[in-house]
Amino acid sequence: MVQIISGWITENKYSSNFEELDETILNDRLCYFYASLQTKQGTDYSKSALVGIRSAISRHITGPPYNREINIITDKSFMPSNHVITGGTGGLTDLKKTTYAKCKDDKGQEYYKMTYNECDKTHHGVDSKENSRDVRMYAKPGDIHCPVFSLDFYLGKLSPRCTAFFQQALQYPKPTIWYAAQPIGKNKLASMMSRISEEAGLSIRYTNHCLRATVATGLKRAKSMTGLLCL
């Protein structure tokens, strides 16, 4: 099992002594490793297989001659990499292009809403009845970061031959189509925010899981503020 990560590290031209890496860097390496690992047939490893590989790596770095006093399975610093294994994708793999519907309100303002209640899947203590309200993502005309424009643009570049919302990027994108007719693998999708954080040079490494929690907290806070304004 350890030979698998050793080979992966060599292939990706990382430092070979992964056993001695700082916890933060080791966690980053494991995020990429778990997400990109595939069988000889080109398919993603099962969750149970990844758990077995993780256990083997843990035994390797905590035993002689390294004797590291860290636990890549339970330590908080390794939470991001463990989310890749234990379901950091949440409901992302279930998202389709039709999950988002573009609408106009009674004032003619454009917005997107979800066609099913994704918030019910957050499980972060927000009452599902609160989330069943019509949550809308409104356009910001004239703003280069307009979320409606961005979603329009993204949807317009997806392959028409695939229903998945998250599709694999084409190596050689076409002017009108940038994505292949194939969904992103669940392991790679699980580390999506971690990879974006690193490639964008962010000071904080975000995970799919922490953003999901942030959304749930934001919804609850927004409801509380609405209640205060009504007093």
How many other CB atoms sit within 10 Å of the CB of residue 8? Answer: 16
163 and 215 belong to one structural domain: yes
Please say whether the beta carbons of 9 and 56 come within 8 A.
no
82 and 103 belong to one structural domain: no
38 and 67 belong to one structural domain: yes
Containing domain of residue 36, as a range?
2-86
Question: What pLDDT is recorded for position 87?
Answer: 65
101 and 199 belong to one structural domain: yes
Q: Which residues of the chain have pLDDT under 70?
A: 42, 87, 89-90, 116-134, 204-205, 207-231
16 and 80 belong to one structural domain: yes
Last residue in a domain, options 71, 86, 101:
86
Last residue in a domain, options 86, 105, 135:
86
42 and 56 belong to one structural domain: yes
Last residue in a domain, options 65, 86, 107:
86
Question: What pLDDT is recorded for position 80?
Answer: 83
126 and 215 belong to one structural domain: yes
| Secondary-structure breakdown of the chain: helix, strand, coil percentages, each rounded to the nearest 5 | 50, 10, 40
Question: What pLDDT is recorded for position 203?
Answer: 78
Question: What pLDDT is recorded for position 207?
Answer: 67
CB under 8 Å to 128, separation ≥6 — which residues?
A: 117, 119, 120
Measure the CA–CA gap between 102 and 153, rounded to whole angstroms. 13
124 and 214 belong to one structural domain: yes
Measure the CA–CA gap between 211 and 216, rounded to whole angstroms. 9
49 and 123 belong to one structural domain: no
Question: What pLDDT is recorded for position 120?
Answer: 47
Number of domain units in the chain: 2
96 and 59 belong to one structural domain: no
Question: What pLDDT is recorded for position 209?
Answer: 59
21-80 tens-digit pLDDT: 999 999 988 988 888 787 777 677 888 999 999 999 999 999 999 999 999 999 999 988
pTM reported for the whole predicted model: 0.60
